Structure 1
Amino acid sequence: MYRYDSYDQTLVDERVAQFRDQMDRYQDGRLGEEEFRPLRLQNGLYIQKYAPMLRIAIPYGMLSSTQLRRLASITRRYDRGYGHFTTRQNLQLNWPALEDVPDILGELAEVQMHAIQTSGNCIRNTTSDQFAGIAADEVEDPRPWCELIRQWSTLHPEFAFLPRKFKIAVTGAAADRAAIQVHDIGLRLWHDASGDVRVKVLAGGGLGRTPMIGEVVRGDLPWQHLLTYLEAIVRVYNQFGRRDNKFKARIKILVKALGVEEFARRVEEEWVHLKDGPQTLTRATVEAAGAHFEEPQRRPVSEAAIAEFERLRGDNRAFARFVTNNVTDHKVPGYKAVTLSLKRREHAPGDVTADQLDAVADLAERYSFGETRVTHEQNLVLSDVAVDELEDLWKALDEHGMANPTVGTLNDIICCPGGDFCGLANAVSIPIAQALQERFEDLDFLYDLGPLDLNISGCMNACGHHHVGHIGILGVDKKGEEYYQISLGGNATDDASLGKILGPSFFREDVPEVIDKILKVYVEQRHDDEHFLDTYRRIGHKSFKERVYA
């Protein structure tokens, strides 16, 4: 994974010192609230419902064991012994004291971490496929390109105060696991006939109050021009994006208002001034970035060991369930990527304790070359596990409550913190997730349903990505009362779609029963081996609506 050079470390250290001075001046009354607000936001510090919240950047979702242990230590010392992984591959602390934040940032800097641009109207943390670099279907490793984007966008003076926040996602695989169609900019890396890297550029996607699917702005950008073309897009947005209404300030509104053809024309017009300029990438620059992501020294795994793994899988039903749901194919024979579930009823989805962070650090060093990934689904991944060590890893994960064999099922719920923490939320989210996990906990039933994404947001900001859940749940406020709106048919992968609202919203206690009725329609109407989304698209909205509101 990427290691800081002297420039990176100096930048982060100086940023900590700068914010420490800003915090001192704020607490002394020399900085007013409105002056301090943009300064704290660009260092990831929010003021939430009951306490400050600090969002820590995890660039393209990669963590070392050293960083995991530091996060564990920070949560014990400055928080309540746990953190929360988000759908943008970051980690949030929900209970830090305001005056402790400079010390927290200082401790993060010691292990090459920061909170720069994790909030505010700037270019946020670039996200990618959690299986980047090891996926069996990968065409191009997106991590070096994500790193180049990180370097370009960090503290970019022209883009410090955009009309609104700005998010970029990159994939290099045949299957999109980075949700590139619902980002401000989505990038798909592909190879032309000669094997050269090209980039498909989408713009104008996003969720929130006005969800939209991104549109192709340029389908075959040469790799050398990636940064200059991104700069042209953000310049056009910075110039023409609305600043009079924050609800209409995202780039998706601009693309929609202009039309993608006119938007692309303006980008090309701006690009004329940037193309072939100093930010044009060279092969040496790309190779230097790629050198940070060197292949680990994997030992060979024999055919006999692979055969023994398959035998164990056949003989042990519990182990087989874990492998089927939590283990993903690897580009190297004899290795797998293992997803560690952070979905248990006793914790909010995505929450992880300090003890678990320490345990994952130990397991990563023992089984996966000291590397961990964060997923969009609020889980963790060990990326390089030899199959002859999978059974031992499974047993160790079970001891720490992270072997729940439900990844990709109804119980693998994506959920924002909701009204339990967030001052923007209209309703709680976590109790809904816990009620659904309790209602639908039978493993045989979950496996019979097959892959099913259920996403929950506490408000229209859509931090829980409810718009692209196969089943989406949105908390709404009706005259001070919490209600929940259900949508169906969303999807964040290659055939992306936005969910359609089922009808009038429901009381909190009714939500599990409503979901049960929806699932019964699916089970009754599906064809053999048909997944929920396939059935929904085939039979349409009406059958589900009639059953729920009968």
Structure 2
Amino acid sequence: MYRYDEFDAEFVHSRVAQFRDQVVRRLDGRLSEAEFRPLRLMNGLYLQLHAYMLRVAVPYGTLRSDQLRMLAHLADKYDKGYGHVTTRQNMQFNWPVLSDVPEMLTDLASVDMHAIQTSGNCIRNVTCDPYAGAAADEIEDPRPMAELIRQWSMLHPEFAFLPRKFKIAVTASSQDRAMIKGHDIGIQVVRNEAGEVGYHIIVGGGLGRTPVIGQTLRAFLPKDDLLPYLEATMRVYNRFGRRDNKYKARIKILVRETGIEDFTRLVEDEFAALDPSDIAVGAAERARIATYFASPAFETGIKPLDMASQPEVFRKWVDTNVVAHAAPGYAIVNISLKDPERAPGDVTTEQMRAVADLADAHSFGELRFTHQQNIVLAHVRQDALRAVWDGLVAADLEDANINLIGDIICCPGMDFCALATARSIPVAQAIAERFEDHDRQQAIGEMQIKISGCINACGHHHVGHIGILGLEKAGVEFYQVTLGGDATQTAAIGDKMGAGFSQEELVDGIERIVDFYVGAREHDERFLDTYRRLGTEAFKEVLYASA
């Protein structure tokens, strides 16, 4: 894992000191809210519906156990005893007091953490496959590349005030677990016909009010060219991106209006014209960064757990939440944060500390936040799976619902967000309660429900198998449904079904859709396959059958 060097530490501590002074001046009136707003956003601090919200950066989703314990400390001391894992693999605190925020940032700095560039019109936290460095299907660990991008983009003077926020996601697997086609730039580690490792660059993806699937900018980019090529792409966007209309300011709009061929030409021309000597990073520096992400000292000769002697509830958890690891004898463990009693992604301080203890005991002190608002222990011995499960049971984190209908992605909605037009958390909880029975979830199979409380789509509803968008009209909340969205390597935007529903009508309609799918599928056909085979009208008819 990446460790801050002396420059990183000095930089973060000096940034905290600067912000402490800015907070003092805001509180005593020397700074107005209008003057303070860009300063707090540069430090990850939002003003939401009821209180401030601090968003803490977790680069590429990876953190140490002591860092998770620090997040638990912040939640206990400065918030309400819990944190919220976001769809960008960060953590948010929804109730900090402004005067406490400098102390929170000071505490974060003590464990190599900060909140810089988690907001504002800059390059945001780079997200990554949560199984990186452990996945059996990856070409190489993509996190060194993500760290390289983090270092290049951090306070880049040319890209600190972009037309709009900018999001990058990376993966090294053929199975896309980072939703790279839904980002401003997506990067996939690939091999060319000569067997050389390089990057497939995708541009112009994004959700929000105008959902777009990204397109190929460069099918194969040599490793040495990564930062110069990103620099060229960002220069083109910074030059031509719309600044007169924030709704048209994202790079996806520029790519769509320019056309991918002409946009590619602009980038290639800029790339050819720049001098890469001050930007490019060679093999030696890449190798140096990669040493921070070296695999742990995996043991050999580990005997698999005797599953036949284990209780059925544990075996079901293993079947659902545990994934194959690249190293023999090890496994990847997914920890669900989707208890119907809590908002999706919420995790209490007691649970954070319990997971940190499990990471120390069974995963080399390392864990990951996922963009599906869960937690991963990436390197667990197979013979320790029962011990991990026992620890999760004690922490009330044993839900066996990963990628099932109970594993709902959900934004904070109108319970917290000033931009939201409808509540989303109660909808997620109502659906989770309706389908709480684990046997039923298993019988339904893979099912991704994603919920957003407004058109900004922080809940990624456009790419949900079932997507739900909360809106408001004349003071009344209602919910629109999309079907057939896909966030994987076969990415697709869901089809809008029609008129919206009340919350009560919505849950009944979701149940009709699910029951229809279960009855209509062929063999072990996934929901997406059945939907694509039967078409929109068949499902639309069922959805509105009793509406």
Q: Provide the C-alpha distance between the structure 1 equivalents of 2:326 and 2:520, rounded to a whole number of angstroms.
A: 37
Matched, 1:534 2:516: no
Question: What's the CA shift for 1:193?
Answer: 4.2
Partner amino acid, structure 1, of 2:32: G
Q: Provide the C-alpha distance between the structure 2 equivalents of 1:53 and 1:266, rounded to a whole number of angstroms.
A: 39
The residue aligned with 2:141 is: 141
8 Å Cα contact 1:225-1:275 kept in structure 2: no
Could you say what secondary structure the match of 2:417 adopts? coil
The residue aligned with 1:311 is: 308
Structure 1 alignment gaps of length 5 or more: none
Matched, 1:497 2:496: no
Pairing partner for 1:345 from 332, 336, 340: 340
The residue aligned with 1:274 is: 274
Q: How does 1:500-519 map to 2 (within 5 A)?
A: 500-519=495-514
Q: Provide the C-alpha distance between the structure 1 equivalents of 2:306 and 2:238, rounded to a whole number of angstroms.
A: 54
Partner amino acid, structure 2, of 1:187: I
Q: Provide the C-alpha distance between the structure 1 equivalents of 2:440 and 2:235, rounded to a whole number of angstroms.
A: 50
The residue aligned with 1:391 is: 386
Partner amino acid, structure 1, of 2:513: I
Q: Provide the C-alpha distance between the structure 2 equivalents of 1:83 and 1:251, rounded to a whole number of angstroms.
A: 31
Partner amino acid, structure 2, of 1:448: A
| Structure 1 residues 307-345: Cα deviation after superposition (integer angstroms, max 9, x where no partner) | x43434xx5311111111100100001000101111111
Q: Provide the C-alpha distance between the structure 2 equivalents of 1:296 and 1:217, rounded to a whole number of angstroms.
A: 35
Question: What's the CA shift for 1:444?
Answer: 1.5
Pairing partner for 1:454 from 449, 455, 459: 449
The residue aligned with 2:200 is: 200
Q: Provide the C-alpha distance between the structure 2 equivalents of 1:523 and 1:542, rounded to a whole number of angstroms.
A: 17
| Structure 1 residues 20-44: Cα deviation after superposition (integer angstroms, max 9, x where no partner) | 1111222222222222111111111
The residue aligned with 1:544 is: 539
The residue aligned with 1:521 is: 516
Could you say what secondary structure the match of 2:232 adopts? helix
8 Å Cα contact 1:309-1:387 kept in structure 2: no
8 Å Cα contact 2:206-2:212 kept in structure 1: yes
| Structure 1 residues 341-369: Cα deviation after superposition (integer angstroms, max 9, x where no partner) | 11111110000001111111111000101
Question: What's the CA shift for 1:186?
Answer: 0.4
The residue aligned with 2:161 is: 161
Matched, 1:405 2:400: yes
Question: What's the CA shift for 1:177?
Answer: 0.4
| Structure 1 residues 189-210: Cα deviation after superposition (integer angstroms, max 9, x where no partner) | 1123444221111110000000
Partner amino acid, structure 2, of 1:486: V
Partner amino acid, structure 1, of 2:430: A
8 Å Cα contact 2:338-2:399 kept in structure 1: yes
Q: How does 1:279-428 map to 2 (within 5 A)?
A: 279-302=279-302, 305-306=303-304, 308-312=305-309, 315-428=310-423
| Structure 1 residues 359-414: Cα deviation after superposition (integer angstroms, max 9, x where no partner) | 11111000101001011110101111101111111111111111101111000000
Q: Provide the C-alpha distance between the structure 1 equivalents of 2:274 and 2:383, rounded to a whole number of angstroms.
A: 52
Could you say what secondary structure the match of 1:438 adopts? helix
Q: Provide the C-alpha distance between the structure 2 equivalents of 1:46 and 1:130, rounded to a whole number of angstroms.
A: 26
8 Å Cα contact 2:174-2:489 kept in structure 1: no
Q: Provide the C-alpha distance between the structure 2 equivalents of 1:34 and 1:203, rounded to a whole number of angstroms.
A: 33
Q: Provide the C-alpha distance between the structure 2 equivalents of 1:222 and 1:548, rounded to a whole number of angstroms.
A: 48
Could you say what secondary structure the match of 1:157 adopts? coil
Q: Provide the C-alpha distance between the structure 2 equivalents of 1:421 and 1:227, rounded to a whole number of angstroms.
A: 37
Moved over 4 A (4+): none
The residue aligned with 1:257 is: 257
Q: Provide the C-alpha distance between the structure 2 equivalents of 1:195 and 1:40, rounded to a whole number of angstroms.
A: 47
Q: How does 1:406-485 map to 2 (within 5 A)?
A: 406-485=401-480
Partner amino acid, structure 2, of 1:28: D
Normalising by structure 1, we get a TM-score of: 0.98
8 Å Cα contact 1:243-1:249 kept in structure 2: yes
Question: What's the CA shift for 1:442?
Answer: 1.4
Q: Provide the C-alpha distance between the structure 2 equivalents of 1:92 and 1:80, rounded to a whole number of angstroms.
A: 12
Q: Provide the C-alpha distance between the structure 1 equivalents of 2:301 and 2:431, rounded to a whole number of angstroms.
A: 41
8 Å Cα contact 1:229-1:275 kept in structure 2: no
| Structure 1 residues 521-543: Cα deviation after superposition (integer angstroms, max 9, x where no partner) | 21121111100000001101101
Question: What's the CA shift for 1:276?
Answer: 3.2
The alignment-based identity, stated in percent, is: 55
8 Å Cα contact 2:409-2:459 kept in structure 1: yes
Single out whichever of 293-302 and 445-454 deviates more from structure 2: 293-302
Matched, 1:235 2:235: yes
The residue aligned with 1:9 is: 9
8 Å Cα contact 1:140-1:190 kept in structure 2: no
How many equivalent residue pairs?
Answer: 545
Partner amino acid, structure 2, of 1:291: T
Structure 2 alignment gaps of length 5 or more: none
8 Å Cα contact 1:301-1:386 kept in structure 2: no
The residue aligned with 2:54 is: 54
Could you say what secondary structure the match of 1:92 adopts? strand
Could you say what secondary structure the match of 1:390 adopts? helix
Q: Provide the C-alpha distance between the structure 2 equivalents of 1:194 and 1:10, rounded to a whole number of angstroms.
A: 43
Q: How does 1:42-191 map to 2 (within 5 A)?
A: 42-191=42-191
8 Å Cα contact 1:185-1:201 kept in structure 2: yes
Q: Provide the C-alpha distance between the structure 2 equivalents of 1:311 and 1:194, rounded to a whole number of angstroms.
A: 46
Question: What's the CA shift for 1:99?
Answer: 1.1
Q: Provide the C-alpha distance between the structure 2 equivalents of 1:347 and 1:26, rounded to a whole number of angstroms.
A: 34
| Structure 1 residues 410-444: Cα deviation after superposition (integer angstroms, max 9, x where no partner) | 00000111011101111111100111111111111
Partner amino acid, structure 2, of 1:58: V
The residue aligned with 2:40 is: 40
Q: Provide the C-alpha distance between the structure 1 equivalents of 2:260 and 2:329, rounded to a whole number of angstroms.
A: 45
Could you say what secondary structure the match of 1:272 adopts? helix
